[in-house]
Amino acid sequence: MTVGTLTKRAVALAGGTLLALSPLTAQAATPTQPQPQPTLAAKGASLVDDTSGNTLFAKDADTVRPIASTAKIMAASVVLDTTGVDLERQVPVQQAYRDYVTQHGSSTADLQTGDKVTVRQLLYATLLPSGADAAYALADTFGTGTTSAERTTSFISKMNTKAGELHLSKTKFTSFDGGGSDSSTPTELAELAQHAMKNDTFRTIVKTKEYKGEAPAANGRTRYYTWTNTNQLLGSYDGVIGIKTGTTTPAGDCLVFAATRNGRTLVGTVLNSADRYADAAKLLDYGFGASTAKSMKLRALPTHAQRD
């Protein structure tokens, strides 16, 4: 075989190699197809990138709907935004707080009359088991007036004032616990959540699955409290850091949630959903480009835990 023939074969082989690689090279250069938007059971939903502020998903996101106990996010924010708030201040539990739960059939932290619980504990009791008794205690403590009725009315007014300060023009509160005709939109509820999550204490509380604490009891002994977070997405979907459930007949099942992966935080809301946790997982998958929702198993709640 001559040198010329060898050269031609080498060129042919090299050419064949290039031809074989070229389809792979073209395939790698093809941009990844965007994920299809998820189909949700929720009547309203929103997903926001917390860093950029960009809305990643919206479904009837500017339609006003009842928000149930997600209103407690605002109640907690009013307390935590109070200048010079003393989180270790002790608050005596009034019988009226327990009576309110009974009268309205609300979720409860089962606060015992005469116990002295701190403001910090009341925040846990409000946000984890969604205790209406604890929310009442906060409203009665941080509202102004000479009677409990005046103080709670004042506190609700503060909730609406805070909504105005945050430019949440479609958000209205008529109760301190979400048991009234409290309403907002998925967009504005996500904005409220973003504000609340800027507070270190709030972030610490809403990512807690279970809280155990003690308080001086009325009989001079020590009361031990255990409160379980009603948010089952927490501990079920990797990266979830909160934040609050809500359920009433008018509102249906609602959820405000947040999750962080690879330094990126997403905040979302689903309102009036027949499957709120699956909806939230689908939205987070969509935002993170993940596929966690299909295999997600919800964290089970203890039999004694509140459902909200």
Distance CA 70, CA 189 (A): 8
Catalytic residue among 46, 59, 69, 77: 69
Q: At what angle do helices 72-80 and 148-165 cross, to 10 degrees?
A: 90
Of 188, 183, 80, 61, residue with least CA distance to 127: 80
Q: Which of 46, 77, 107, 130 is catalytic?
A: 130
Amino acid sitting at position 83: T
3-state secondary structure of 286: helix
DSSP structural state of residue 145: S
- 69 belongs to the catalytic site: yes
Query: What tokens does 206 get?
Result: 């809403």
Rounded Cα distance between 266 and 156, Å, is 29
User: First vs last Cα of the chain: how many Å apart?
Assistant: 85
β-pairing verdict for 183-184 and 210-216: unpaired
Q: For residue 247, give every residue at least 6 positions away whose Cβ sits within 8 Å of its Cβ, in sequence order, or none.
A: 68, 69, 253, 254, 307, 308
Which residue, 277, 230, 248, is CA-closest to 66? 248
d(CA 62, CA 55): 12
Q: Write the burial class of residue 304 (CB in 10 Å: 0-12 exposed, 13-18 middle, 19+ buried).
A: exposed
Q: Are 38 and 57 in contact (CB under 8 A)?
A: yes
Rounded CA separation 69/226 (Å): 20
Smallest Cα–Cα separation from 284: which of 242, 230, 228?
A: 242
Determine whether the annotation assigns residue 244 to a binding site.
Answer: yes
Question: Which residues are catalytic, by number?
Answer: 69, 72, 130
Q: Annotated binding residues for substrate, as ranges?
A: 244
Q: Annotated binding residues, as ranges?
A: 244
